[in-house]
Structure 1
């Protein structure tokens, strides 16, 4: 699969073969710029000039998106659509795949993305009044309407901090300030419940569970290593110990197995099936399919008629 480096987020939507793991995956796109970053604490400024539909992304930590210009639609794993316009924001949970759509017919989309790690969340919970209150039922993703004080905070991020080489301490302070502003202006118990359910000691995740849960998504080995809490080399070693093959080979086998099921159970074209599982080249897809199953996708389909 082709490298994403220097692509735009619109390209990712048009390509449709890969999922984006954020925040770390944003570095590969020219229309997403770092404002401040340290570990998983981060603030990004994104400006998308043309329509981007069907961009699938995975949050490795909770995220707040604030729309400066334009309108963006977020689709949750349950199919709920959350439409966020200028001056509004959305809180997005960790460890879920979501899809975003943006139409560029009325101009560019401009937004700020804030990523919170466990350190920020725990400190906010300790300092927040009523932090010991029992959280409400599961929150999931939710939208926050326009508030003047929050809009003023966001303007300062653009006017001041894009030209400052922010320190770790400054980044931490701005993320804490944002959470306290949301608690003051919005429903504080809703925010606490969201943060409570999205704070965990990430550490190393069970590789078998991780792959069972996410192997249908076209992520890279590097992405899976990050999600597992390991370096790429450590992930490769542990994966091979557990599965008996390298992760790259295992992922190809899983994708080709999905392709075989699609060949036998759908009317989609061979090109469409290959594209869906991450192959930009139909000839490459057919060659790997034949190498694994001993026949081409077209011949397999004809044999089942």
Structure 2
């Protein structure tokens, strides 16, 4: 059996059945290499050659991702798209499910990932207290544009520190240096909020990704709300904002579309098809099918003969 370390992040995208917990889970993939690591403090480099879509990941601690080559697209739990190109950086909050896409049409993706534990965050807050305002309201993922100082820092990481056995003190110092560089180029109040606060989207999953992966399962709206990390009312509200329709109606349409395909392409009985998509009452299934398609399942099948 092939060891997990021989898997790549592209394999995870094709799998689509689990979330990647980072930084811990990065050790299982050959295209993610440790530069320095002590506990939750870490610097990784990832180099992805093949396209990968729909990777859901969860940060167990705050992360700064700097793209050195290529382009990566991130989706927040609320469906916001954030495109990060070479020379740009995204700040990813702790305890948040996000989704990442990468297309190899523009070449490989290379990025540096910096993870911060509470000791780094507390020291940064202590040292910056005389210069920066108090944290603002809670903040989610956000992007920082190109800056020469940040690009120079990233080059030093790969040119000098890659391949050496960095001490805990060296790693701590480099993470602190990075935070002060970011604070100098960005709004300090925003950075402090990012580091200090638990994100308001904590524990929430991207709804579009969730529905794409699980819509074939006969789950209730309550089940989907639970999987998404939201209350039923919050799930209904966010779903309708993104899809323009209530989740109950959307699920019915998706299931009836699957039933339509099954009627046309299989020999399964109408009762079995209805049961397969969650209808225990065949008459109710036929009625809803006709309402949506203007024809009963039996009439549709006869038309195909």
Q: Give the whole-Å Cα distance in 1 for the aligned partners of 2:273 and 2:30.
A: 39
Tell me if structure 2 keeps the 8 A contact 1:62–1:198. no
The equivalent residue for 2:43 is 43
Which of 194, 200, 219 is the equivalent residue of 1:261?
219
Q: Secondary structure at the match of 1:87?
A: coil
- TM-score, normalised to structure 1, is 0.68
The equivalent residue for 1:159 is 159
Q: Give the whole-Å Cα distance in 2 for the aligned partners of 1:170 and 1:268.
A: 57
- TM-score, normalised to structure 2, is 0.68
The equivalent residue for 2:95 is 95
Q: Give the whole-Å Cα distance in 1 for the aligned partners of 2:62 and 2:257.
A: 36
1:170 aligns with 2:170: yes
CA distance 1:173–1:138, shift in 2 (3 Å): same
Q: Secondary structure at the match of 2:43?
A: strand
Matches within 5 A, 1:1-305: 4-130=4-130, 133-198=133-198, 259-261=217-219, 266-267=255-256, 300-301=275-276, 304=280, 305=282
Aligned residues: 229
Structure 2, unmatched stretches of 5+, are 208-213, 221-250, 260-271, 283-305
Q: Give the whole-Å Cα distance in 2 for the aligned partners of 1:3 and 1:139.
A: 38
Superposition deviation, residue 163 in structure 1: 1.9
1:134-180: CA deviation from partner (whole Å, max 9, x where unpaired) = 32122211100111011000000000111211111111110000001
Q: Give the whole-Å Cα distance in 1 for the aligned partners of 2:3 and 2:274.
A: 31
Q: Secondary structure at the match of 1:160?
A: helix
Tell me if structure 1 keeps the 8 A contact 2:97–2:204. no
Tell me if structure 1 keeps the 8 A contact 2:138–2:198. no
Q: Secondary structure at the match of 1:119?
A: helix
Q: Give the whole-Å Cα distance in 1 for the aligned partners of 2:29 and 2:138.
A: 33
CA distance 1:192–1:130, shift in 2 (3 Å): farther
Tell me if structure 1 keeps the 8 A contact 2:138–2:193. yes
Q: Secondary structure at the match of 2:162?
A: helix
Q: Give the whole-Å Cα distance in 1 for the aligned partners of 2:121 and 2:59.
A: 16
1:254-302: CA deviation from partner (whole Å, max 9, x where unpaired) = xx9x93437x9525769xxxxxxxxxxxxxxxxxxxxxxxxxx968327
Q: Secondary structure at the match of 2:34?
A: strand
Q: Secondary structure at the match of 1:155?
A: helix
Q: Secondary structure at the match of 2:191?
A: helix
Tell me if structure 1 keeps the 8 A contact 2:67–2:87. yes
Superposition deviation, residue 130 in structure 1: 3.5
CA distance 1:268–1:123, shift in 2 (3 Å): farther
1:38-78: CA deviation from partner (whole Å, max 9, x where unpaired) = 11100000000011111100000000000000000110001
Q: Give the whole-Å Cα distance in 1 for the aligned partners of 2:274 and 2:116.
A: 50
